[in-house]
């Protein structure tokens, strides 16, 4: 119950930045338009590229814009707050808190993600729906699967961002690692080019990496490209990465605690 309260508080905190949200929606929409037209160009030349048709591709473009902030592809979110606390040394307090550090920050990040889904996820999708012919999930089951998949996407992203942030316990500054993570995430999440377009073995590789859980899996479920068993396998793929990453986070944070105890921050 505590974690729900933490999530609700995070949601409210983000809800105070109305102007920033509107500005972000505008920017997401502009990029949505550009990417849609590049995809239209691709699928005009090759109508079945990557197994998608043109409406799949355009829908994918807008889902990508919706997911940027929700999944925090560009980093940021709760883990940035933690990074600040590591810099100031306040994190020592967190490490001694009775509730799990990981659970606390995950709850905060899910609260943030909920806010971003309802604003910067929903609004650009509506803009896209007005401007283009989009495809929608074909039934309540698909909607439900998509919702679960989105939550798992946030958890996987949280796990990666958490590891990046935790690097600050050892490196003085996590900016470099963070930048690198953003780039890899941008590329391998399929935000610029859908992973289905990757040629040959690079496609199989990209599909197996955790970043595929950010956008490609939820989008495929939404589009019905992963239906039935395929959808379930998608969720299992995401859940496996989520579990693995959170497990590693737990170990890393334990090490960090020992380090803070020994060195006093």
Partner 1 sequence: MAEVLTRLSWALRAYLLLAAAWVRVSMAYRASFWMMTVAQFVVTGLDFVAIVIMFANVDALGGFSLAEVAFLYGGAGLCLGIADLLLGNIERLGTRIRMGTFDAMMVRPVSLFAQVASDQFALRRLGRITQAAVVLLWSIVALDLDWTPSKVLMIGYLVACGTAIFTAFFTLGGAMQFLTIDAAEVANAFTYGGNTFAQYPMTIYPREIVKALTFLVPIGFVNWYPSLYVLGRPDPFGLPEWLQFASPVAAVVLGLVAAWAWRAGVRRYRSTGS
The binding site for partner 1 (CB under 8 A) comprises: 17-20, 22-24, 26-27, 30-31, 33-34, 37-38, 40-42, 45-46, 49-50, 176, 179-180, 183, 186-187, 192-193, 197-199
Both structure tokens of 190: 């399929």
Residue 121 contacts residue 154 (beta carbons within 8 Å) = no
Nearer of residues 194 and 234 to partner 1, judged by Cβ: 194
Question: Least distance to partner 1 from the beta carbon of 24, Å?
Answer: 5
- Joined together, the tokens standing for residue 15 give 């809800």
CB of 4: closest distance to partner 1 in angstroms? 28
Residue 36 CB, nearest approach to partner 1 (Å): 10
Closer residue to partner 1, CB minimum distance, 88 or 179: 179
Least distance from C-beta 264 to partner 1, angstroms?
26
Would you say 49 or 160 has its CB closer to partner 1?
49
CA separation for the pair 31, 142 (Å, rounded):
27
CB of 66 to partner 1, least distance (A): 16
User: Shortest distance, CB of residue 251 to partner 1, whole angstroms?
Assistant: 27
Cα 36 to Cα 58: distance, rounded to the nearest angstrom: 5
* Closer residue to partner 1 in complex, CB, 215/231: 215
Which tokens in the block code for residue 138?
């074909």
Q: Which is nearer to partner 1, 124 or 159 (CB)?
A: 124
Residue 25, C-beta contacts closer than 8 angstroms, at least 6 positions apart: 119, 120, 123, 124, 127
What's the CA gap between 240 and 234, in Å, rounded?
10
Instruction: State which residue, 2 or 20, has the beta carbon closest to partner 1.
Output: 20
| Alpha helices for the chain (secondary structure H) | 2-14, 18-45, 54-70, 78-88, 91-96, 101-116, 122-131, 140-166, 175-188, 200-208, 216-223, 229-263
């Amino acid at each position: 119950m505590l974690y729900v309260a933490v999530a609700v508080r995070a949601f409210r905190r983000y809800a105070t930045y109305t102007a920033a949200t509107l500005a972000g929606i505008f920017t997401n929409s502009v990029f949505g338009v550009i990417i849609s037209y590049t995809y239209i160009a691709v699928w005009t030349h090759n109508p079945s590229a990557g197994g998608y048709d043109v409406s799949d591709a355009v829908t994918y473009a807008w889902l990508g814009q919706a997911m940027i902030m929700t999944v925090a592809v560009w980093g940021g979110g709760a883990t940035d707050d933690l990074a600040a606390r590591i810099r100031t040394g306040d994190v020592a307090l967190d490490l001694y808190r009775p509730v799990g550090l990981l659970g606390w920050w995950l709850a905060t990040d899910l609260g943030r993600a909920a806010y971003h889904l309802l604003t910067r996820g929903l609004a650009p999708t509506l803009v896209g729906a007005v401007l283009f012919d989009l495809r929608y999930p074909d039934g309540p089951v698909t909607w439900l699967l998509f919702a679960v998949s989105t939550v798992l996407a946030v958890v996987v992203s949280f796990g990666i961002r958490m590891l990046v942030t935790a690097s600050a316990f050892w490196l003085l500054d996590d900016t470099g690692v963070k930048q690198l993570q953003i780039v890899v995430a941008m590329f391998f999440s399929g935000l610029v080019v859908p992973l289905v377009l990757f040629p040959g073995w690079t496609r199989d590789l990209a599909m197996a990496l955790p970043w595929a859980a950010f956008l490609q899996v939820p989008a495929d479920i939404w589009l019905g490209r992963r239906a039935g068993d395929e959808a379930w396998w998608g969720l299992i793929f995401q859940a496996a990465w989520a579990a693995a990453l959170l497990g590693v986070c737990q170990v890393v944070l334990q090490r960090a605690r020992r380090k803070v105890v020994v060195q006093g921050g």
